[in-house]
A and B are shown apart, each in its own frame.
Chain A
Amino acid sequence: MLTSRGYWFLFCIAEVALVGVLLAARYAPTVPILAFTLVLWFIGEWIWFWIRTNAAHSRISIERHILQNDRELPTLWAGMDCTVRITIRLKRGFTLPFVSLADKLPVGQHIQAGHRRNITRLSASEPVVLEYTIHPKAPGVVRFEGIEFRMADLCGFFYRRSFFRLPTEYLVLPPLTDDDGTQRANKRFNTLPPPGVHRIRRAGSGTELLHLRDYLAGDPPKTIAWKASARKDKLITKELESDVPVRCVLFLDASNSTRLGTVGNTPLAKLAGIGAGVLQAAASDRDLVGLTVFDETGAKVQKPARTRRHTMQLLRIFAETAGRPAETTDGDAATLQRYAYSLAQDIYPDMLDKRLNSRPFGLFWIPLLDSRLKWLLILPLLWQLFTWKAEGFNTVVQTTLDITRPRSMNDLPAFLIVFLFLMLAPTVLTGIYWFLFGIRGFLPTRRQLLSERKQLGALFASRDGDTPASIERCISDDEFFVAKASRFLVEHHHQPPPKLFEPNGDYRFRCPEKIPILATSLLRTIGMARDNELYIILADLVELNDDIEPLLKSIRVARGKHHQVLVLLPWPEDLPPPRDPRAPVNELPKKNRTALGSVIQFTLIGEYHRKFEALRLKLVRAGAHVVRVNQGEPVRLILARLDRIRGAGIRR
């Protein structure tokens, strides 16, 4: 494409050439000669630019390597720097003297070191390397879209932008924790048993002595305590403790309410990070850890195990779950269109090219016949029928004569004008109305919106393999378009700001459907339990005070079976921690009482605290222990609970 500099230069030399050939050549042939030389130079540069860029376009190869600690890895670890190295080669062909190469940064990531853009020349003998470092903070998925190419000639007349799409996704596994770091500060509870095996104070087949009792018929001879029998002079049987591993089952809430927020900073990512910390700490003690990921639609269960493979699998599940974006299929069509179109311009510039993705003139015309009042068009037709009948025609002629009163042939034009007006006025008026009705489609805002909608519809149809009918449906059906655009944005890890509240003020992301699912999953896990287990529920429940009853029942069942239940609730970052219920009620400072924003914020914070307190009371009464995510160190707390279950802590 021509830049504005190129347009101005071309316009100028074309004018000079025109004037030179037509007027000035007779007196100064230098003028057309100079103009022709400049025009030839401009055309030559233009053709040369297109040849070079076209030839290079199909001969570029790109390699991407992700390195962590100088090793190429298929997955990343959160909390660790990783280096992205991209090598761009021109296999053969002409040198591109001025190119700007830039890697599109994954959403939510920031460059720690290096450059993602390089402005250089690209030739077959000199590959270009882009190298930069990112620091994934939270588990999830990072998506690299591809490389942006911007090419220009050395004079700045011509410019071309393209995007090499190389979508690659990498899992970011939760951060690694060391074996004795934060989670294993003290090991006083499990010093005696070997790792992974813990004593339960009941008879079993362990190695530690529980107590001695009189021999009963049928006891195995090997259980007879011979020394004690000799001392008592009767047979005494020794009973041993039961050695069992401790099981811990995590319930991770992956519903939409936990997926709201910027990438890597969602409640789900934080919950997954905590869960992964617990998993690794427990795995280092060879405890069995299971995982149930649930949302509004169902639950996926991973049975407790303690193998390394199982641990890695759970880490992958944590990462995949944390990378799930919120599904907002009921967003505003105009907002989604704005987001989707700007993203498409970035990543799919070739697919929005009007040579591939056309915007025909007729697309913008609003047909009158499609309106509800098209039947009214019959009125001018009736009028024309009336005027073309003899009586009507005579009436019109007579009226025209009365109006114009022609005396001579000089009055003929006036007669004809009035006659034609009376004869054809309804049709002309209807024609004007038809024109004004249809031309409204070309007004700038509507034209732009329709044009973008059509291009996006074609892009979606092409990507999804749909028929062309889906383009028209995208244009006409907002609901369909919203579903398509949401999917498009989610796939590229972009999320427009969701509508959080209904028009009546209700929170839209309560997700009450998840409570029965969680309760059922908990009951099923209790049913499969063997010994005393720890159930950790990582869920956003604050908005679900009124729907929590099924979960409370399940918790009571768990407590009845002597299991421990711990509930971890995410807490918004910008919200102060809940106050002590016994503390005096805070009041809004006087200076803020006039600011509506402050009053609303104060009210909403108070409402959230009230809901949290009510939920906490319900859960505590049911026997669960409730912890906020940002309250102390949740991982240490969970491990302490585990330690209470095993060994000394569970003595009854």
Chain B
Amino acid sequence: MSQNVSPIPLPPVKPNQYRELFTNPAARTYLMVAAGGLLVALLTMFLIGSLIATVLLLMVGLCGLVLRWSAMPIFFVVLVCYFSYAPLGVPFVFGSISNIPTSNFRFLDVVLVGGSLVYLIGQYRLFSIVQSGMPFDANKLFVKTRAKPTVRPAEAPRDRELWMLFARVGIFVLGGQLLWYAITNWRVDFERVPPVVFMAPIEGFRRSDTLFVPDYLSRFLLAFGFFLAVAIVSRFVFWYWRLLQLQRDQAQMILIDTQWSEDRREMNRQEKWRGWQKGKILGTNRTKIGCGGWFLALGLPLILLVLFILVLNLSSG
């Protein structure tokens, strides 16, 4: 076997072994990455002044990293958002109202978001290494209780993989800030075409009360519109790409299926007649009436009869 051929697969990693976090090179690497991200997020929350958030996030992070509780990343996101909203942990006791247009590219936000993203990426990649990287193909009913899930092999990640991780953290943190900048500086104005205005003073929008869009709704519409546009464009691109890559048997299947969809009612009628004739020849046609048939044959006339008698009685009375 030549040098550039992948080695023989390593034995699968045994789950539920805490020692594995340090013996498995891949797990060890991502444990460190996630711990680093968690530390940055904790430090930022501490600087914001939320000590309780620091403690709770530490507990959540440790549960995720050491105990591998799979819900912890979601709890982490929820907790970070909650303590950003209420740093003291008490709801409805807010800090000062933010000046939203100037809330872009604040240092603590960038660090907090970056640290959180690193933690989440590291945590989920760690799950793929020590817990489960791919779902089972079979229905859940047929998966044995002690079946081993597919996990990433215990090889040290390459440098390029880690560099790409930090590169994408930078890109998406920047993207998030830019998106927030865009939707806080653009406004929806249905009196204009196109119905968006950049950096317009809010007073200028009160020309008509019926078409006035509040700030929060404007931000929502812009964000929703952005993600919808991304989804539509992606969908179209991948749809066209899939058509380009279509193989012969797949294309044949599409043609057959389309033709069947168009003609299925007529073909269904033919098949019913064919089945009826076949049953007649073989003498296997049903002679009994099903329960639905009985209802139609007896129930419905009975109801009509009762109604008829009722009507006649009442009218004569």
A contact set with B: CB distance below 8 Å: 3-5, 8-9, 12-13, 16-41, 43-44, 47, 50, 54, 57-58, 97-98, 100, 115, 117-121, 125-129, 150, 152, 154-157, 159, 161, 350-351, 356-358, 360, 363, 370-373, 376-377, 379-380, 383, 395-396, 398-399, 402-403, 422, 425-426, 429-430, 433, 437, 458-459, 461-463, 467-469, 471-473, 475-477
Contact = CB atoms under 8 A, between A and B. Distances in A.
A24 to B, nearest CB: 5
Contact of B249 (A32, A395, A433, A462): A462
Given A12-B77, A22-B220, A34-B176, A118 B6 contact: yes
Given A33-B113, A33-B180, A152-B133, A118 B9 contact: yes
Contacts of A34: 77, 80-81, 84, 112-113, 116, 176
A351 B250 contact: yes
Given A24-B85, A47-B234, A468 B176 contact: no
Contact of A37 (B152, B173, B278, B315): B173
A35 B121 CA distance: 15
Interface of chain B: mostly helix, strand, loop or mixed: helix
Contact of B5 (A31, A128, A350): A128
A476 B257 contact: no
A469 B259 CA distance: 9
A341 to B, nearest CB: 12
B271 interface: yes
B293 interface: yes
Contacts of A469: 263, 267, 270
Contacts of A13: 77
B296 A376 contact: yes
Contacts of A472: 260, 264, 267-268, 270-271
Contacts of A458: 253, 256-257, 260
B272 interface: yes
Instruction: Give the 5 A-B CB pairs with smallest separation, nearest first.
Output: A37-B176, A29-B103, A155-B124, A476-B271, A468-B260
28 contacts: A21-B183, A25-B216, A26-B97, A29-B109, A29-B180, A30-B109, A32-B219, A33-B180, A34-B84, A41-B168, A129-B5, A150-B137, A150-B150, A152-B133, A154-B124, A154-B152, A154-B161, A156-B132, A356-B254, A372-B289, A372-B293, A396-B311, A399-B311, A468-B256, A468-B260, A471-B260, A472-B260, A476-B272
Given A34-B113, A360-B261, A430-B300, 13 more contacts: A24-B81, A32-B180, A33-B103, A34-B116, A37-B113, A40-B176, A41-B172, A156-B124, A356-B253, A371-B293, A373-B297, A469-B267, A472-B264
- Of B103, B132, B153, B253, the most chain A CB neighbours within 10 A belong to B253
B293 A119 contact: no
Contacts of A26: 97-98, 100, 216
A157 B297 CA distance: 56
B38 interface: no
Contact of A477 (B120, B275, B293): B275
A342 to B, nearest CB: 9
Nearest to A436: B292
Nearest to A1: B135
B43 to A, nearest CB: 15
Nearest to A348: B249
B163 interface: no
B219 A21 contact: yes
A3 B134 CA distance: 8
Contacts of B15: none
Contact of A36 (B95, B127, B223, B311): B223
Contacts of A152: 128, 133-134
A376 to B, nearest CB: 5
B314 A403 contact: yes
A9 B216 CA distance: 24
Nearest to A41: B172
B17 to A, nearest CB: 19
The secondary structure that dominates the A interface is: helix
A33 B177 contact: yes
B47 to A, nearest CB: 13
B74 A8 contact: yes
Given A29-B98, A34-B112, A476-B275, A155 B128 contact: yes
A12 B78 contact: yes
Contacts of B259: 467-468
B203 to A, nearest CB: 19
B175 interface: yes
Contacts of B176: 33-34, 36-38, 40
Q: How large is the interface on B (under 10, 10 to 19, 20 to 34, 35 or more residues)?
A: 35 or more
Interface in B265-298: 267-268, 270-272, 274-275, 278, 286, 289, 292-293, 295-297
B304 interface: yes
Nearest to B121: A155
Contact of B150 (A16, A100, A127, A402): A100
Contacts of A363: 264
Nearest to A114: B8
A398 B315 contact: yes
Given A351-B253, A373-B297, A429 B303 contact: yes
A117 B9 contact: yes
A23 B215 CA distance: 11
B304 A25 contact: no
A357 B257 contact: yes
A33 B109 contact: yes
Nearest to B254: A356
A21 B117 contact: no
A377 B292 CA distance: 13
Given A39-B227, A437-B292, A30 B150 contact: no
B246 to A, nearest CB: 9
Contacts of B8: 115
A41 B109 contact: no
Contacts of B80: 34
B190 interface: no
A433 B230 contact: no
Nearest to A352: B253
B181 to A, nearest CB: 10
A131 to B, nearest CB: 8
B170 to A, nearest CB: 11
B69 interface: no
Nearest to A377: B296
Given A9-B73, A54-B241, A159-B135, A36 B6 contact: no
Nearest to B149: A156
B315 A31 contact: no
Nearest to A372: B293
A93 to B, nearest CB: 12
Contact of B125 (A35, A154, A422): A154
A418 to B, nearest CB: 11
Contacts of A126: 4-6
Contact of A476 (B173, B268, B296): B268
Nearest to A395: B315
B49 interface: no
B90 interface: no
B22 interface: no
Nearest to A398: B315
A386 B54 CA distance: 80
A446 to B, nearest CB: 14
A351 B251 CA distance: 10
Nearest to B160: A95
B76 to A, nearest CB: 10
B137 A161 contact: yes
Contacts of A50: 238
B245 A27 contact: no
